[in-house]
Every structure is written in C-alpha cells, then in structure tokens.
Structure 1
Amino acid sequence: MQENPMSAWDMSDQSERLPNAALARRRSHDMISRNRESDALFDIARILGFLAGKGVLIAVVAMVIAALLLTTVLLVSFPYTATAVVFVDPRDQNVTMQQEVLPAIGTDAAVLESMVQIVRSDGFLIDLIQKLHLLEDGQPWTGSEDQIKQLAKLRKKIDIERMGATYLVKISYHAANGNDAARIANEIAAAFAANQNGLRSSANVNASRALTDRLVELRSKLNAAEEAVAQFKADNNIVYIDERNTVQMRQLSDLSQQLATVKSASEEAGARYAEFLANGTFTRSATQGNDENEQLSFLRRQWTQLIQARDQQIFTYGPRHPRLVDTQQMLNGLERQITQQRTRLAEQIKSERDINLVKQEQLARQVDDLSSNISQTEDQRVQLTSLEREANANRELYQQLLSRNKATNELVQQPTDNVRVVSPAVVPILSSRPPIVLLVPVIGFISLVLAIVLVALASFRPLKPALRRQNSTSYSENPPENAVEPGQSSDRKYRSEQWSLLSLLPDNRAH
C-alpha cells in the first residue's frame, strides 16, 4: 500500500509545531497568573477582612509597642538649648572724619555669611575651648586624638545661623543642663562679638604700627634729601629770595632796569646837547634844577623890561638921549648874564650826558657778567631742581602718612562695638524633648504600622506549607495545556512559589 506523501509531510510538520504551541500556551498562562496576583495586591476587601480578623491582636501589639516607645522617649535625656542673638551693625560710627582701616560690612551680605562661618572654624572653637577650660585637667591644646574628638562634639552642639535677611545672628548651644547651655551660649556670642570687633581694632593698631615704622624711615630719607639740597646750594652759592628767583636773578633784573633808565637818560641828554649845538637852544629836561631855570627866567624878564624901557625912551627923548646909554649898558650886562647862564646849562647837559654814558657802560658790563654767571649755573640749577623734587616728594609723603598716623592713633583710642550681643541667652526651663501632645499621636501611628507589619509576618510563616499544598492540588486537578517535561519546568516552578502577602487574608481556604 502506497503512502500518501502529503500525509507524511503533514505529520512531520505537526511534530515540529507542537513544542512552539506549548511554549506559547505557557507564556499566556504566566501572564494570566501575574495579572491575578496584581489584582489581588489591590484587593481592598481582602485587606479590610485581614484587619478585622486580626484587629484585637494588632491593637494589643500596637499598645505594647507604643508603651515601649513612650517609655524610651521619656527615659532618654534630651539636651537643653539656649540661644543668644548678636547684632552686626552695618553702619559706620563716624566719631571722626577719618575712615577706619577696616570699614563696616555695609550692605554686603556675603561678608555677614562669612562672619557666621567663622564660629564653626577650628581656630575659633579651639580658642573657645581653652577660654572655657573644657579640656580635662585644664590641659593646653595639643591636637591629640581625644581633643580633636572633643572639638568635633563641641561643633555639633553649636548652631549658628543668620535670621532671615536681617543683620541678626542666632547662636544656639545644646548641653545636658540649662545652666551650662546658657553660659556657653553667652560665652560663644561674646567671643564672636569680641572677635569681630577685635579684627577692626587690631586692623587700626597694626596700621598705626606700620605707619609709625614707615614714618621713621621716611623721616631719615627726608632729612637726607633736605641736607643734600642745602649743601648743594651752599657749594654753588645759590640763594633764593623767593620761590623762583635767586639773588643773582634779582640782581640781574634790577641792573637791567637801571640800565634801561640810564640809557634813556643818556639818549635824552645827547639829544638836548645836539639841539643846543645846532640851534643854540635846548629843551629843558625833567632832571634840570628849578633854581637854574628860575634864574634864567628872571634874567629874561629883566631883559624884556629893559627893552621896553629903551623903546619908550627912544620914543620920548630920541635916540641920542644920555639915558639910553645907561639902559643899553644894562641890556648888555643882562645879555652877558643870560649867555653865561645858557653856557653853564649847556655844560651841565653835556656833563649829564657823559655821566649817563659812563653809567650805561658800567651797568652793561655788570649785566653781561651776571648773565654769563647765570648761564654757567644752569646745569647746577637742573641738579638742584632734581634734588628739590625728591625732597618735596618725600616731604609730601611724610606729611600725608603723619596725618594718617595721627588720625589712626585717635581711632585706636575709640571703642568699636559694631558687633554686639543684643539678646543674651537665658537658662531654658524645658529641654528639647517634644511635647507629649505631639509625641502621643506620632508614637500611636508608628506603633499601629509596626503592629500590622509584625502580625502579617507572624501569620505568613505557618501558612507557607499550606499555601504550597494548595497550589500543588490545584495544579494537579487542572493541568495547563502547555505542560512540559519535568526538566523543562524550573521556571514555572519558581513562578508557582511566588505569592502575595494578601493571599494570607481570611478568605484563603488554606487558612
């Protein structure tokens, strides 16, 4: 009998597709199982049933836990906290017009934050430990391991923070008793204020000392520079009569003015003498004596009167009358006197011209000599100017630092209290333990949650074997369509052992 080739092909194809179909059915069953477990996790009815069935036990366990927690809280000692408030004044106290070396913080909030962090620094806390004698047996700070641990404990007990956007700093300290907490909090606040105020005071003191040392050095430099200037002037015969002019310069200026005056007088006298030689007349000079002029004028008036008298006599007596002879003789005498007076004046003008010319030559010679001397000392004046410039610079710097030193010394004497304690810490009456009114609800809630968890865990252990038997019975009665060989069921066995805590609720038949 001939085999059907199509039937053989179909059987071989079915044998190949059977494992793939079983694998697909197994995956579908696993997905259904996970969905059921997820639905059971959020089953509100089963959760409420579990709480109702175990309510009494949960209440008892919760009360025991609450009693234990409340007893523990009451027996544990809570530290006392004392708080001091420090005010950091941003304003400057302008007692004097001089600005301090280290001004106030102003509106710079970063500076205030930096000042707050100083309290947490090791240097500040080490000084505080030594000041409060917190080390055993009053030992000095050596940096040993025990002292470092004690430093860390002290840092944990200190709380410091800025109060909002204000310039107030809150310093808190935690201690086993209220007296120590208040005392140490006040000591920390006072040390903080003293530290910050001391920084400004020490800055003024250090600046004053530095200025004093610098002034000693500048004074020696200034003395050396002034001595160099004086010695240079003495060696080169340079004497200033004011800020710019020396004696030689003033002499040259005076001689130049005198030379100009004498030269003008010489020219005027020469012109008058030339006029006299040319015309027989001359112009009276401003320097000519009044007596001589009055005498010449008197002679001329007499001569004029005699001329008038002679003309009258000629008209009355005729040209041959004897009186005319006397009048003519008197006229001749006056003319001789006038001529002599004019000659004497001409000689005087010439003498005056000659004297002025001699003076002019002498003054010109002196001006030339002084000009040559001044030109020869120009290099010396350049050197002198350089020395005077250095001396003036040292003098100005010395005067500025001297004034600054005087003002700084005054600032050192002024008290500085920009940082001050405005609210000292008082002894706290109560510790930092929370109030009972707040503790009871919190402890009750925590106890209830812990009781539910403990009862659920206690119910879980005895029911685990029963849960496994129930799962095995259900699996044998209704085997899945995708059952596989025992060697291939390790993954399925692992999933079948997974269970939810909610499977322990009262409607479980194993329970």
Structure 2
Amino acid sequence: MSVLSDVPKGSPVVRTLTRDHAKPLGRKIKDRDLPHVERQMPIPMATDSSTAIDKVGEFLEFDFRKMSDWLRAGMKGAVVLALVGGLAGGAYGLLSKRLYTVGTDILINPSNLQVVANDLYAAPTQGDNQVLAVRSKLRVLTSRNVLLHVVDELGLTRDREFNDPSPGLLSSLIGSRSGGAASDPRTAVLEVLGKRIVAKADETSFVATLSVSAETVDKAIRISQSVVTGFQDELAKAESDGAARAARAIDDRLDQLKQEVQAAEAKVESYRRTHNLASSQGQLVSSQSMTQVNSEMITAQSRVIAAQAAYDAVLAAGSNATTQDPVASASLAALRTRASGLQQELDGLSMTYGPRYPRLAQLRAELDAANGQIKTELSRILAKARSSLEEAKASFKALDTKMKDMTGTVFTDNEVQVALRELERDAASKTAVYESFLARAHQIAEREQIDTTNVRVISTAVPPQSRSWPPRTSLLIVVGVVLGLAAGLFLALARGMLRELRDPQPAAAEQRA
C-alpha cells in the first residue's frame, strides 16, 4: 500500500501495477485491496484501442486452472460424444461394405526370350534400361487396355459392385451437373476398378506385386487372374503389333527394291547386247575362245615340233628309215626281210653256178624288184613325213593368225567390260539388299506369331485371412470413442475461450457490484 500511495492520483502506472504485477508478485496485493486502491486512485478512461489490447492480453494470460475448469464443465458432453463416436465406429464396421484384398507376385524379366538369333527387339543391357523396361511393363499392368480386358471378360458392367444403376443422391446431383458425360458404362466401371487395383514394384528385384480388392474373395481372385492374363496378352499384342508394322514397312520397301533390281539387271543385259558381250559361266565368250585357241596353239606347236623331228629322222636314216605308222612299218619290214632273203640266196647260188645260171638271173630280177619296192616305200614315208610337217605348220600358222585377231577383240571387250562390271556391281548390291530385306520380311512375319514375353506368376492369388476394409469393429469402436472424446474436450475448451473473450474479468465485475 505504501508503494501505491507514493504515486500521484490519476497516473496510469497504478492500473498497470494492479493489472500486470499483482499475480507475478505472489499476490502480495490481495484481491480485496484492489477495489480500495482503485477507489483511492481514480484511473482515467481508456480509449477503444487500449481496451481491445487489454482484453487480448488478459485472454492470453489464462492459466491451467481455467483450462481444467473448462474441461470439467464440458466433460459430460465429451463423454456423450465419445459414446456417439464409439457407436458410429461400430455401426460403420458392421454396416459398411467389406473388401477383401488378394496379392499376386509377378516376375517381369526385362529381357524377352531369345527365340531367333537376330531378333526384332534388342534386350536392354544397362541396369537403368532394365529398370525402365520393368517399370514400363508394370505401367501396362494397370493400363486401360488391360482393365478393359478384365471388364469385358468378367462382365463387370453387370456387377452392382462396380456399376450401380441406382446411385445415391449426391452422385445424382453431381451427375446432373456434369451433364451425363460418361455415357459408356465401362467408363464408370474402369474408374471403380482402377481404385481397386494397385501394382507395386520391388526396389531390389524384378518382381511386382498386384493387389486387387473386391467385396468377395472369389471375385478378387478372378479379377487378379484376369488382370494377369490381360497383362500377358497386352505385352504379346504389343510385340506382335510392332512386328506387323515392321513387316508392313519392309513389304512396302520391297516393291521399290524389286523394281530397282530389275532395272539394274536390265541395264546389264542391254549393255551386253549393245557391245556383243556374250558370257558363259561368268566369263566372256571371247575370253574363253582366246583361252581355247591358246591351248590349241600349244598343241599345234607340239605337233609341228614332232613332225619336224620325224621328217629329220627319215632324212637322216635314208634306206634304214622307219615310221611310226605300224602298217607301213610292217610292210617295210617285210620288204626288207624278203630282199635280205633274196640276197642271201643269190650269194649262195653265185658261188656254185655261173652268172648265166637261169636261177641267178631270176633272183637278181626279184632282188631288184624288192629293192625298188623298198625305195618306193621309203619315198612314200618321206613324203608322208613332209606332208605331216607342212600340215602341222599350216595349222599352227592358222591358229596364230586367229589368236592375233582374237587378242584385239579381247582387249576391246576388256575395255568395254570395265563399265559392264560397274553395272554388275550395282545390280549385285541392289540384289543383295533386296534378298536381305525379303528374308527379313519373312522372318518378321513369322516372328509376329511368336510370343517371347518373359513374364511369369511366381505367387498366385490366395484367399486372405481377414478383410482389408473396413478395419476390425473393435478397433473402429476404440477409434470412434477416442475421436468423440477428443472432439468433446476440444468443444469444451473452445466454449471456455469464447466466454473468456466475451467477459474477460467476471470476478472483478462481481466485486464492484
């Protein structure tokens, strides 16, 4: 009291001390003294802004005793809300639609089966490319095409779980505002089915897990199996469509390549006819003829040498000459034998009889005839050898003349064949490209019929042990009780705060009264 008495009357410090320092000072100034102090020391009227600031400051000065008072005051309401929340949770657990979730593990290998050596699709080799390939295939697992396959196969448009023909009031209002955009019932089924299917990839392997939820276990398993089948069919169809597009592109190109090959081959044949370049077994006829004539010249030259040697031998032998002709040699040998016999007989009789002996005259006549025949035969042999030599020389000369003529023709053909070989190379290259494209087109056409996707189910869908939604009824009751109790306590605190804001100093007002 002594401290306040020293302060001049009407000073705002008095109100500040009474408001801001009464409680922190351990309530040394009692509540019963405040009215007395205020009566002794009149305080001037506060402005509107200072009054609002004072109210906010007094509101922020609430303590835990006030909070406990507020909570005790609203405890009954909180208990009631807790009971309502528990009943709501139990009712939701008992009355809401139950969903059962089944899981299927699928091994998605990024590399397809190696059916052909030179496949149309290259297998990813880098780790990042393999991960992207698996993620792309995983995206196909929940794609619209796969889901449409499931809808059509299982007839989900006739299932009330996925296509309810009598929607609720809220859905009707929303549908009326949207103007009935979804005229196809499969669109609504796809929207519901897309929320019931979840695909998740394993970060450490190529295994993906497909989770499917439905109101019954059998339906969830059938949908899961249909999704896997549609997924495999979609991958196979994608590869088949790609192969078909490639085959069509190659077929379109084949027609043009065929025309180019025919035009190139026609140029080659036209050039051959224009320059008279006949060929046989890949070689010009002129070159083959020249090679043949060259061989004949070698043979003719050998004959000339042999005939010259035979003629020289006949000349050198004289009367002792022989011939390679077996008939002539036998005749000449017989004549020489006869002449030798006559000579011996003549010599024997000459020693016994005189020169006028008749037999001697006869033998001399026979011996002269035999020697004449031998000379005649030798002359014939010499003439024949000379004739053979002249014939061989004439044949060699003719071949030599022919060889000279053909050499000029071959040289001319070789010069012309330079351009011909260029045309042949162009035709051969175009033919090779055409044949490779043709073989590739047939290979791709067969590849279109082969499914090389390497996707395998390693864990089939099995009935779950419990439902996936809603949670257990007991858990929903506990959650409802906790949420209701929390809501009641929050409302109690909010109600107390609102009262505090409306009347920040109810106790002081009562003491003034």
TM-score normalized with structure 1 length: 0.62
Moved more, 380-389 or 421-430: 421-430
CA contact (8 A) 2:279 2:285 kept: yes
1:249-282 Cα distance to aligned partner (Å, 9 max, x none): 2221221121112222222323333444455368
Q: CA-atom RMSD, angstroms?
A: 5.1
Shift of 1:159: 1.7
Matches within 5 A, 1:282-321: 288-317=324-353
From 241, 247, 266, the counterpart of 1:227? 266
Mapped partners of 2:207, 2:370: distance in 1: 118
Shift of 1:310: 2.8
C-alpha change, 1:60 and 1:138, in structure 2 (3 Å) is: closer
Q: What's the counterpart of residue 251 of structure 2?
A: 212
Shift of 1:231: 1.8
C-alpha change, 1:402 and 1:57, in structure 2 (3 Å) is: same
Mapped partners of 1:326, 1:403: distance in 2: 98
Q: What's the counterpart of residue 405 of structure 1?
A: 441
Mapped partners of 2:327, 2:317: distance in 1: 24
C-alpha change, 1:270 and 1:104, in structure 2 (3 Å) is: closer
Mapped partners of 1:196, 1:266: distance in 2: 84
Moved more, 195-204 or 109-118: 109-118
Q: What's the counterpart of residue 37 of structure 1?
A: none
C-alpha change, 1:380 and 1:425, in structure 2 (3 Å) is: farther
C-alpha change, 1:369 and 1:109, in structure 2 (3 Å) is: same
From 138, 144, 147, the counterpart of 1:116? 138
Alignment partner of 1:364 is 2:400: yes
C-alpha change, 1:161 and 1:213, in structure 2 (3 Å) is: same
C-alpha change, 1:64 and 1:341, in structure 2 (3 Å) is: same
Percent identity between matched residues is: 22
> What amino acid sits opposite 1:432 in the alignment?
W
> What amino acid sits opposite 1:246 in the alignment?
L
Q: What's the counterpart of residue 334 of structure 1?
A: 370
SS at match of 1:434: coil
The count of corresponding residues between Structure 1 and Structure 2 is 410
Q: What's the counterpart of residue 434 of structure 1?
A: 471
Q: What's the counterpart of residue 12 of structure 1?
A: none
Alignment partner of 1:265 is 2:320: no
> What amino acid sits opposite 1:70 in the alignment?
G
1:307-358 Cα distance to aligned partner (Å, 9 max, x none): 3323333455577755333323322221111111111111111111111111
C-alpha change, 1:319 and 1:453, in structure 2 (3 Å) is: farther
Moved more, 405-414 or 288-297: 405-414
Moved more, 193-202 or 452-461: 452-461
C-alpha change, 1:258 and 1:234, in structure 2 (3 Å) is: same
Mapped partners of 1:86, 1:216: distance in 2: 48
SS at match of 1:172: strand
Q: What's the counterpart of residue 256 of structure 1?
A: 294
CA contact (8 A) 1:78 1:176 kept: yes
CA contact (8 A) 2:101 2:211 kept: yes
SS at match of 1:101: coil
Mapped partners of 2:100, 2:202: distance in 1: 17
Matches within 5 A, 1:133-172: 136=180, 138-139=182-183, 158-162=197-201, 168-172=207-211
Q: What's the counterpart of residue 50 of structure 1?
A: none
Shift of 1:172: 3.3
Q: Which runs of 5+ in 1 are unaligned?
A: 1-29, 31-46, 48-52, 142-146, 470-511
Q: What's the counterpart of residue 80 of structure 1?
A: 99
Mapped partners of 1:59, 1:338: distance in 2: 167
C-alpha change, 1:372 and 1:182, in structure 2 (3 Å) is: same
SS at match of 1:377: helix
SS at match of 2:279: coil
Shift of 1:199: 0.8
SS at match of 2:278: coil
CA contact (8 A) 2:70 2:493 kept: no
CA contact (8 A) 1:89 1:167 kept: yes
CA contact (8 A) 2:86 2:484 kept: no
CA contact (8 A) 2:100 2:217 kept: yes
CA contact (8 A) 2:90 2:477 kept: no
C-alpha change, 1:183 and 1:327, in structure 2 (3 Å) is: closer
> What amino acid sits opposite 1:219 in the alignment?
K
CA contact (8 A) 1:58 1:451 kept: yes
> What amino acid sits opposite 1:73 in the alignment?
G
C-alpha change, 1:208 and 1:368, in structure 2 (3 Å) is: same
Q: What's the counterpart of residue 234 of structure 2?
A: 195
Q: What's the counterpart of residue 498 of structure 1?
A: none
Shift of 1:366: 0.8
1:53-100 Cα distance to aligned partner (Å, 9 max, x none): 999999988865653443443455577354463745648567x75765
Q: Which runs of 5+ in 2 are unaligned?
A: 1-23, 25-63, 158-162, 164-174, 509-513
TM-score normalized with structure 2 length: 0.62
1:166-202 Cα distance to aligned partner (Å, 9 max, x none): 6554333567898997787666555433332211111
SS at match of 2:431: helix
Shift of 1:221: 1.4
Mapped partners of 2:118, 2:90: distance in 1: 58
